[in-house]
């Protein structure tokens, strides 16, 4: 569906329920609350829901939001590539999504109507360009939601997925009253006390090998339980080992079961993480890949370092 | 001087020596090497110098640069607000700078000719807009230098000083072959092993007060010397205490002499760091300020926390 079709769709439908993906991020929530606000502005009924409660971290996107009572007729998913990503509490919408607005090239086409731009850095960029093309009024709140979606999905315009159009949208959206630097501080420069503690523990225990070209962090069940920190705070640590200057392969070894460890491997341009993980029956992308290895921690580490040694030699 | 004047100036002068500021950053170096490359492209002689050696961290800006032998006739300073910032080895240029291209509102006007745009997020933005307006050829190298200047001075488009024109420039510059995500990874997502260790030590020893609304790190001479880490790695830690969610005032206490401590205070929108430091005879900006306090570490901390307690009560 193109932007003309989408505009007609919004004009001719009502009573919208907007679905965001589980473990929600700034893009799915930004799109959800921006679209909800625009639809209400058009005189429509609209609500936003998520598998869980909306995270406090994003409360600036929904502080003026309220739930309306009406019977949902039009189910819209935003930034949801696959209906499975809606989460276990929203399974009743599987097969029942009327419209999906997204930017993932992997979108499964599960919705009856789909607007997807796989070049777009964020679903919020698709939505912004739609509002702009159709002359739909963008309020400060909508601008704040869309800026947040674009900024968070691009790591604040840092990552490879940032396209010139993302910068153009930012240039335009920051002219609304959105306090973008406050948003960015909250999104990128602050962490929970627990998370900071976890990262600090990982950095303190990081091991370096092969002239500091390889770094390894190990996360055992014992360490996690003794820390007293919620397990969720131990997610997404895989980028830490590669954050050291000179490291070309950063490895996170996380215990799954007694003698089973999950490896997350990150590499710079110099090496292929996916090829590395294939040696252990895993796979992934060229810079980020994973695999599972059995054995004690010492055995796993030894196997891994032997392979690292081999690829670093090839590399020289 | 306006862009027309600047263009004429470049056409009618030759044998350029481009000065960058001491403790060089991405903006001064980006401007230096971009301007040097453009001038050489115009058939002029040009070199870039700094008070120190060019930092390895920025080697991607000067890997193709070579020093030319000629007698300097035109002295140009880039991103240098005050000639004192040239550094102790470049004092012979004090009073002898012919042209300055800058973006600091505080520029002292020390140069014979000055092009300054105090709204610009970076000096590299001034230079980019000049090249663009005058149709001067921008090579991939020049684009890389200018992008780096803009990205580093804005914290990758994160800080308050980011203006829409900075995003527009980024959108245009990233269409050259510059591998911007690689630049950003190097500039923002990697740290030296020593620096990472220092930050980890600081986070591990961070103290929290008043319901975690105030956090404090203490840097004694003893701790610094025992760490075995170069003193320079202990600079610029002042943003760490404020990086914890919920903290509204973050304080770094750094020992200067036996019983003299330097305070760096950072605050969120909720509090005035400058007013806080004025209570101790210091000053600064509303979100970042400093002062010096005498006493033992325990005495200093006690004085500081008493004042923090007072302003947090006012704030509620």
Residue A29 tokens read as: 């929530």
Alpha helices in chain B (DSSP H): 3-12, 26-41, 59-62, 123-133, 140-153, 164-173, 180-188, 193-204, 221-227, 273-278, 297-315
Please name the member of A57, A171, A184 whose beta carbon is closest to the beta carbon of B158. A184
User: Quick check: A192 contacting B, CB < 8 Å?
Assistant: yes
User: Quick check: A160 contacting B, CB < 8 Å?
Assistant: yes
Residue A44 tokens read as: 């429509």
Q: What is the pLDDT of residue A220?
A: 93
User: Quick check: A165 contacting B, CB < 8 Å?
Assistant: yes
Q: How far, in Å, CA of B68 to CA of B306, rounded?
A: 59
Region of B79 (left: φ > 0; alpha: ψ -120 to 50; beta: rest) is: left
Please name the member of A167, A200, A245 whose beta carbon is closest to the beta carbon of B203. A200
Q: How far, in Å, CA of B218 to CA of B205, rounded?
A: 8
Residue B268 tokens read as: 């969120």
Task: Tell the burial category of B147 from Cβ atoms under 10 Å away from its Cβ (0-12, 13-18, 19+).
Answer: buried
Q: Strands A207-209 and A214-219, how do they pair?
A: antiparallel
pLDDT mean by block of 10 residues, chain A; 316 residues: 97 98 95 98 98 93 95 98 96 97 95 97 98 98 98 96 98 97 94 92 95 96 88 87 95 95 92 94 90 96 96 75
* A-chain residue closest to B202, CA distance: A200
> Does the pLDDT of residue B229 top 90, yes or no?
no
Q: What is the pLDDT of residue B315?
A: 61
* B-chain residue closest to A215, CA distance: B193
Lateral strand order in the sheet of B16-19? B46-49, B16-19, B74-78, B99-102, B113-116
User: Quick check: A204 contacting B, CB < 8 Å?
Assistant: yes
Q: Strands B249-257 and B283-284, how do they pair?
A: unpaired
**pLDDT band for position B309 (cuts 50, 70, 90):** very high
Q: What is the pLDDT of residue A231?
A: 81
**pLDDT band for position B234 (cuts 50, 70, 90):** confident
For residue B149, give Cα distances in angstroms to A41, A84, A219, B316: 41, 43, 38, 41
Q: What is the pLDDT of residue A285?
A: 86
Reduce the DSSP state of residue B102 to 3 states and report it: strand
Q: Which of B55, B128, B129, B158 to mutate to test the interface with A (most CBs of A within 10 A)?
A: B158
**How far apart are the CA of B243 and the nearest CA of chain A, in angstroms?**
4
pLDDT greater at residue B151 or residue A284:
B151
Tell me the pLDDT tens digit for each residue of B170-204: 999 999 999 999 999 999 999 999 999 999 999 99
**How far apart are the CA of A223 and the nearest CA of chain B, in angstroms?**
16
Least confident of A103-117, A227-241, B7-21, B69-83: A227-241
Q: What is the pLDDT of residue B281?
A: 95
Q: Which of B143, B203, B205 to mutate to test the interface with A (most CBs of A within 10 A)?
A: B203
pTM: 0.90
Number of H helices, E strands in chain A: 11, 11
Tell me the pLDDT of chain B averaged across its residues. 95
The 8-class DSSP code of residue B59 comes to H
* B-chain residue closest to A200, CA distance: B200
> Does the pLDDT of residue B227 top 90, yes or no?
no
* CB neighbours of residue A230 within 10 Å: 13
> Does the pLDDT of residue B252 top 90, yes or no?
yes
Q: What is the pLDDT of residue B62?
A: 96
* A-chain residue closest to B200, CA distance: A200
* CB neighbours of residue B17 within 10 Å: 21
């Amino acid at each position: 569906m193109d932007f003309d079709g989408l505009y007609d769709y919004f004009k001719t439908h009502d009573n919208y329920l907007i679905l965001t993906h589980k473990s929600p991020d700034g893009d799915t929530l930004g799109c959800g609350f921006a679209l909800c606000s625009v639809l209400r502005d058009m005189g429509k009924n609209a609500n936003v829901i998520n598998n869980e409660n909306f995270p406090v971290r994003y409360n600036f996107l929904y502080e003026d939001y309220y739930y309306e009572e009406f019977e949902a007729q039009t189910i819209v998913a935003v930034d949801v590539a696959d209906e499975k990503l809606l989460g276990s509490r929203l399974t009743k919408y599987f097969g029942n999504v009327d419209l999906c607005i997204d930017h993932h090239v992997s979108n499964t086409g599960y919705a009856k109507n789909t607007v997807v731009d796989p070049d777009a850095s964020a679903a919020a960029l698709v939505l912004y360009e739609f509002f702009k093309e159709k002359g739909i009024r963008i309020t400060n709140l909508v601008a704040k939601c869309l800026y947040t979606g674009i900024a968070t999905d691009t790591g604040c315009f840092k990552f490879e997925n940032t396209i010139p159009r993302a910068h153009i949208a930012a240039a335009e959206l920051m002219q609304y009253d959105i306090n973008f630097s406050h948003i960015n501080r909250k999104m990128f420069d602050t962490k929970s006390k627990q998370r900071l503690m976890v990262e600090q523990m990982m950095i303190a225990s990081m091991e370096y090998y092969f002239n500091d070209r390889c770094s390894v962090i190990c996360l055992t069940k014992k360490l996690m339980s003794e820390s007293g920190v919620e397990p969720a705070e131990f997610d997404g640590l895989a980028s830490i080992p590669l954050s050291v200057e000179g490291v070309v392969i950063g490895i996170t070894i996380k215990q799954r079961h007694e003698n089973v460890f999950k490896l997350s491997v990150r590499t710079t341009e110099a090496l292929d993480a996916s090829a590395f993980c294939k040696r252990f029956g895993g796979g992934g992308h060229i810079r980020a890949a994973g695999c599972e290895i059995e054995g004690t921690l010492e055995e796993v580490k030894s196997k891994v370092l032997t392979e690292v040694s081999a690829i670093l030699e090839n590399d020289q």
